Amino acid sequence: MPPRHTFTRSERLKSRKIIKNLFAGEGKVISAYPVRLIYKQVEQPHQTAAPIQFAVSVPARNFPKAVHRNLLKRRIREAYRLHKHVLYNALQQLPHTQTPTVLAIMVIYLAKEILPYQTIEPKVHQCLNQLLKRLPELVVKQPD
């Protein structure tokens, strides 16, 4: 059965505490212009949380109009939605730790102009592939 390309509510990273920890120097960074991916393994906030939680940020400083920020967020979320199944498959192959953990991922849009989806999608895919390579070392370690 082919993978279902969905992006459910439980997959959204909403916890201010986790987002704050990502930016407090605890998260690891992968960059592929025009996007930067920050990730960190955290303890599972609650039982209904998905194994990967994802959020997108587009700075208002670079895009004062919310319409443009929302357009870029939609493009990044769509690129993630189409390629996330690779991460989920890799997580299932890895040995599980004692404490349930979640991989928190935040993508930040870096460019100062609106780029087409055809430019954004391969870069998001490239970041996810680099994260995939780093996954075994990440999941083996216990979270802080």
Q: Under CATH, which architecture does the 9-139 domain have?
A: 2-Layer Sandwich (3.30)
Q: Chain-wide mean pLDDT for the chain? A: 88
- 3-state SS assignment for residue 116: coil
Structure tokens at 49: 């949380």
The residue with tokens 């599972």 is 44
Taking alpha carbons only, the member of 90, 93, 103 closest to residue 141 is 103
User: Domain residue spans in the chain?
Assistant: 9-139
- 25 phi-psi bin (left φ>0, alpha ψ -120 to 50, beta other): left
pTM assigned to the model: 0.88
Which residues of the chain carry a pLDDT beneath 50? Answer: 1, 143-144
The residue with tokens 């493009």 is 75
- 3-state SS assignment for residue 32: strand
The CA-atom distances, in angstroms, between 133 and each of 1, 53, 101, 125 are 25, 18, 18, 13
pLDDT of residue 5: 80
pLDDT of residue 125: 96
pLDDT of residue 61: 97
Helix ranges (H only) for the chain are: 16-21, 66-93, 117-140
